[in-house]
């Protein structure tokens, strides 16, 4: 009986979710509510990686907004790039972008990805992500908190 009461309460309450965020601007195409993401560590200190891990953890659960991480750029709609692009990773980043099907969105995640952060003008740094591949969305922060990462990804998926 108690269980029945719970179910009817759920039905009465209906769906509770945050409002759909505003779609990321700047010519980002409609991906139909599903974004497959390939993460590229271009030379990060791993701070951003920990926060990405949190964003996909059960607490923030980015997957419920239609965002999935995939293991190959061949399957990806978007690349999430972290860290300043080091000289060793510049070629690999370019190849990853080349290997992904079009349209391929690029998310520069964290201050280092946006403008090299504290590593700017380091001897091993080739430049910011936008110096190597075209960037569509930027997520500021050092590192950006998981909530903001989720918000940025929701901007791509539109859910």
Neighbouring CB atoms inside 10 A of 155's CB total: 21
Among 4-12, 13-21, 95-103, 130-138, the segment contacting other proteins (CB under 8 A)? 95-103
Cβ nearer to other proteins, comparing 78 with 89: 89
CB 94, CB 124: distance < 8 Å: no
Among 47-55, 93-101, 120-128, 141-149, the segment contacting other proteins (CB under 8 A)? 93-101
When asked if residue 95 is in the footprint of other proteins (CB under 8 A), the reply is yes
Cβ nearer to other proteins, comparing 55 with 79: 79
Cβ nearer to other proteins, comparing 12 with 102: 102
Q: How many angstroms separate the Cα of 13 from the Cα of each of 6, 9, 68, 72?
A: 10, 6, 29, 40
């Amino acid at each position: 009986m108690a269980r029945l009461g719970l179910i009817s309460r759920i039905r009465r309450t209906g769906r509770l979710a945050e409002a759909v965020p505003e779609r990321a601007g700047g010519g980002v195409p409609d991906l139909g509510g599903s974004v497959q993401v390939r993460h590229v560590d271009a030379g990060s200190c791993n701070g951003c990686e920990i926060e990405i891990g949190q964003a996909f953890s059960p607490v923030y659960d980015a997957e419920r907004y239609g965002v999935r991480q995939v293991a190959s750029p061949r399957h990806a709609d978007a690349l999430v790039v972290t860290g300043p692009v080091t000289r060793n990773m510049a070629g690999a980043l370019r190849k990853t972008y080349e290997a992904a099907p079009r349209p391929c969105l690029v998310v520069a995640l964290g201050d280092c990805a946006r403008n090299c952060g504290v590593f700017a003008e380091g001897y091993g740094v080739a430049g910011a992500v936008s110096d190597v591949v075209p960037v569509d969305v930027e997520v500021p922060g050092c590192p950006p908190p998981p909530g903001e990462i989720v918000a940025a990804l929701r901007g791509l998926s539109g859910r």
